[in-house]
Amino acid sequence: MFKKMASASLVDRIYRPSPDDFYRNYVRRNTPVVITGVANEWPAVARWSPEYFRTAFADARVMFTAWESNNPRNDPEDYYQKRRRLCSRLGPFIDYLHSSDNTSRDYITQFPIFKEIPQLKDDIRPLEPYMNIPPYLPAGVREKLQKMPTMWLGPAQTVTPIHFDSADNFLVQIYGRKKLTLVNPAQSDSLYYPCLRLGHVIYSPVDVEEPDYDRFPRYRQATPFEATLESGEILFIPVRWWHHARSISESISLNFWWFSARSLLRMRHPYFLYKTSRLLNKLKSNSKRSTD
């Protein structure tokens, strides 16, 4: 029995908070929030678009996720089993996105765009003041506490199934609009966590937009939150908060992840489950080989 997702509460929105207010009211409380009045001034928001990339950086190499499936539904299990990582040039990839023949769900995901096109880094502004990374730490340590920013670029209606991250995350909407559905980690049981058959502890088998309550009745107890991002807006996604994304239009987004003692502490249970699962699978495999 498939049903549309029940109405969700809206994520709070704040205009240009001070780093101290943001940390005190949202990071320490592990609470998501949409930040406005910060990234809207970035040159990237005024300049970047699929057409700009096609014209200016057509030969840049990118990796994209191809989801080749006959299943018309956005089934997370189908996605995680059938997705593939493929390589293309940026120009031809965007040409194909705009082609009338394109019926794919191909999507540039988690691509380190500043490594491939370093000059684009001039189009963004630092978010480190909001990350509360202690300034007394050595520069090398501060750098390691941040993951390399990554880009997401794809057509309208592209979906990323619900999952959680191992670090705090700023999702910055650069171009287009994107809708996010979030679920508190305290409600992980309603998302059938842990579901290790999907390949990692961070994934859920539930399609939160059209949940199958016959298969996943516990999801009826979830109380999701929702945020629609416009260009120039930032969504703070705290560590371990479940999130699902749908591009409402053609979309370009950037992720900025960072680690802290707080985020590492919150990941101790998923990390233990994942490592234990891998160890048990290895022992089973070794046992099977020894009996063959």
Return all residues near 216 (Cβ < 8 A) that are at least 6 apart.
Answer: 192, 205, 206
Q: pLDDT tens for residues 175-221?
A: 999 999 999 999 999 999 999 888 889 999 999 999 999 999 999 99
- Give the pLDDT of residue 199: 83
Return all residues near 38 (Cβ < 8 A) that are at least 6 apart.
Answer: 16, 234
Residue matched to tokens 């999701």:
224
Distances (CA, A) of 249 to 60, 154, 175, 178: 23, 9, 9, 7
At 135, give phi and psi (nearest 5°).
-70, -20
Q: How confident is the model at residue 291 (pLDDT cuts 50, 70, 90)?
A: low
Neighbours of 239 (CB within 10 A): 24
Return all residues near 203 (Cβ < 8 A) that are at least 6 apart.
Answer: 76, 80, 161, 163, 195
Q: CB burial class (10 A; 0-12, 13-18, 19+) of residue 183?
A: buried
User: Do 33 and 66 contact (CB within 8 A), yes or no?
Assistant: no
- Give the pLDDT of residue 269: 87
Type of residue at 194: P
**What percent of the chain has pLDDT above 90?**
79
Asked if residue 73 has pLDDT above 90, the reply is no
Question: Beta strand 168-175 with 234-237: parallel, antiparallel or unpaired?
Answer: antiparallel
Tokens, residue 67:
């989801």
Please say whether the structural domain 9-265 has been given the CATH code 2.60.120.650.
yes
Distances (CA, A) of 232 to 45, 146, 229, 251, 275: 6, 21, 8, 12, 38
- Give the pLDDT of residue 3: 56
d(CA 44, CA 248): 19
**What percent of the chain has pLDDT above 70?**
92
d(CA 89, CA 228): 30
Neighbours of 114 (CB within 10 A): 18
Asked if residue 168 has pLDDT above 70, the reply is yes
- Give the pLDDT of residue 258: 97
Type of residue at 26: Y
d(CA 205, CA 43): 38
d(CA 208, CA 198): 16
Asked if residue 284 has pLDDT above 80, the reply is no
Neighbours of 151 (CB within 10 A): 22
Length of the chain: 292
